[in-house]
């Protein structure tokens, strides 16, 4: 009986994470089209509205993601001849599962707002993100299409290259925080916003975020799907809901990378106005500024997500040799040097971060 209750409570918790996440994924696509639209002096999606709901009627195109989801649901799923049918169907699942499962260890707010408070949190995240490459490999191979196969090999090589830089960047965070537990990492950054790790780990923040762009195959590293050369990349042959799962996993991964950047480098749920009550006195406003922990995390995540979109609208696509060069010859040396620098800084107990 008790086990059953525990099971149900855990399931409810998981649903409470997954459903908002999938909604965020849906509206991230809307935000992307809208923001890039405005950056290119267009309006973006503006036809599908929730005309029945008074508050939302005014926002043009707000129903677009729902309409897209419905459309994809009724599209035919084409399974190409000569493909490996079983692997073809299972590949999107293998991309989706790690993209979602990594959220189990993300702390959302102070005081244990995390599904699984494990000691090896960051290691688990690294393991889960390294699983994402399977879906891509299998999808490209199972399709038995030249375009998909070429793109798969490219993007798999790209993803594993950037995973190294990513792992080294995480090592820097671990050195500073001294724990693999994500809640502890956030707690270790307590203080004003100058205490957050973005300052002592600035190069690692850049490298982590840019590697995140490469890991999720986003622009300017989206050469796996370079429209002009290999059509859509590893998922050329996918249609309907199978394609939708790939698409959602990509966006879920974007949100995951943004969240991790916020948690590890921008102090997670910590308020940037820590100690403001000394300045303005204790009233409801300062209390709100300090206590609104989840809100701060959400703002920081949105900041990074906006960067994702901004970068896509700004930079031209890299060439393949440039991508590999950046990963191996620029990022790995910088992270290695920074680990040494950090080691010296921690041994010297440089305040305020390592005192």
CB of 254 to another protein, least distance (A): 16
State the nearest-atom distance from the C-beta of 278 to another protein, in Å: 30
The C-alpha atoms of residue 53 and residue 171 are separated, in whole angstroms, by 48
315: DSSP letter: P
Q: How far is the CB of 37 from another protein (least distance, A)?
A: 27
Q: Measured from the CB atom, is 18 or 194 closer to another protein? A: 18
- Phi/psi for 91 (5° steps) reads -60, -50
CB-nearer residue toward another protein: 12 or 41: 12
Residue 151 or 261 with smaller CB distance to another protein: 151
Distance CA 341, CA 29 (A): 40
The number of helix segments (H) and strand segments (E) in the chain equals 14, 0
* Token code pair at residue 82: 């000569």
As measured in angstroms, the least distance from the Cβ of 265 to another protein is 16
Spatial CB neighbours of 235, under 8 Å, sequence gap ≥ 6: 139, 148, 243, 246
Closest approach of Cβ 147 to another protein, in Å?
A: 6
CA distances from 253 to 22, 25, 146 (A): 11, 9, 26
Residue (197 or 296) nearer to another protein, CB = 197
Task: Report CA-CA distances (Å) from 317 to 54, 155, 223.
Answer: 42, 14, 7
Residue 30 CB contacts under 8 Å (≥ 6 apart), including other chains: 45, 61, 62, 64, 65
* Comparison of 53 and 93: residue with beta carbon closer to another protein: 93
Q: How far is the CB of 82 from another protein (least distance, A)?
A: 7
**Core vs surface per residue 283-313: b (16+ CB within 10 A) or e:** eeebeebbebbeebbbebbbebbeebbebbe
For the bound state, the minimum distance from the C-beta of residue 165 to another protein, rounded and expressed in Å, comes to: 9
- Nearer Cβ to another protein (159/266): 159
Residue 275 or 343 having the CB closest to another protein: 343
Closer of 140 and 267 to another protein (Cβ): 140
How near is the Cβ of 170 to another protein at its closest, in Å?
8
Q: How far is the CB of 310 from another protein (least distance, A)?
A: 23
Q: How far apart are CA 94 and CA 73, in angstroms?
A: 20
Nearer to another protein, 179 or 302 (CB): 179
E strand segments, the chain = none
What are the DSSP calls for 263-283, one per residue?
HHHS-TT--TTTTHHHHH-SS
Distance CA 109, CA 256 (A): 16
């Amino acid at each position: 009986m008790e086990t059953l209750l525990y099971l149900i409570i855990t399931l409810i918790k998981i649903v409470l994470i997954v459903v908002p996440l999938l909604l965020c994924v849906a509206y991230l696509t809307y935000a992307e089209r809208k923001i890039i639209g405005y950056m290119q002096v267009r309006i973006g999606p503006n036809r599908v509205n929730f005309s029945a709901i008074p508050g939302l009627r005014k926002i043009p195109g707000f129903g677009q993601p729902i309409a897209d989801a419905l459309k994809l649901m009724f599209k035919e799923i084409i399974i190409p001849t000569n493909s490996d049918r079983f692997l073809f169907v299972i590949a999107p699942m293998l991309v989706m599962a790690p993209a979602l499962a990594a959220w189990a260890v993300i702390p959302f707010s102070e005081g244990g707002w995390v599904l699984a408070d494990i000691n090896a949190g960051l290691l688990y995240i690294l393991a889960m993100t390294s699983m994402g490459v399977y879906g891509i490999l299998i999808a490209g191979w199972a399709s038995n299409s030249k375009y998909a196969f070429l793109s798969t090999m490219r993007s798999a090589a790209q993803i594993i290259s950037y995973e190294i830089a990513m792992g080294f960047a995480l090592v820097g965070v671990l050195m500073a925080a001294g724990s693999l537990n994500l809640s502890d990492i956030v707690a270790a950054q307590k203080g004003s916003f100058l205490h957050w790790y973005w300052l002592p780990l600035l190069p690692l923040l850049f490298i982590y975020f840019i590697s995140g762009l490469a890991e999720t195959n986003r622009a300017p590293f989206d050469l796996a799907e370079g429209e002009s050369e290999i059509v859509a990349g590893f998922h050329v042959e996918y249609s309907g809901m199978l394609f939708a799962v790939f698409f959602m996993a990509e966006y879920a991964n974007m949100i995951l990378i943004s969240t991790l950047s916020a948690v590890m480098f921008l102090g997670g749920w910590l308020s940037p106005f820590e100690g403001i009550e000394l300045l303005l006195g204790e009233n409801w406003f300062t209390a709100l500024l300090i206590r609104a922990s989840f809100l701060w995390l959400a703002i920081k995540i949105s900041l990074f997500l906006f960067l994702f979109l901004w970068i896509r609208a700004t930079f031209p696509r890299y060439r393949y040799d440039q991508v590999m060069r950046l990963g191996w010859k620029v990022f790995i040396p910088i992270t290695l040097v920074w680990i040494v620098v950090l080691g010296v800084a921690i041994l010297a107990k440089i305040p305020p971060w390592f005192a």
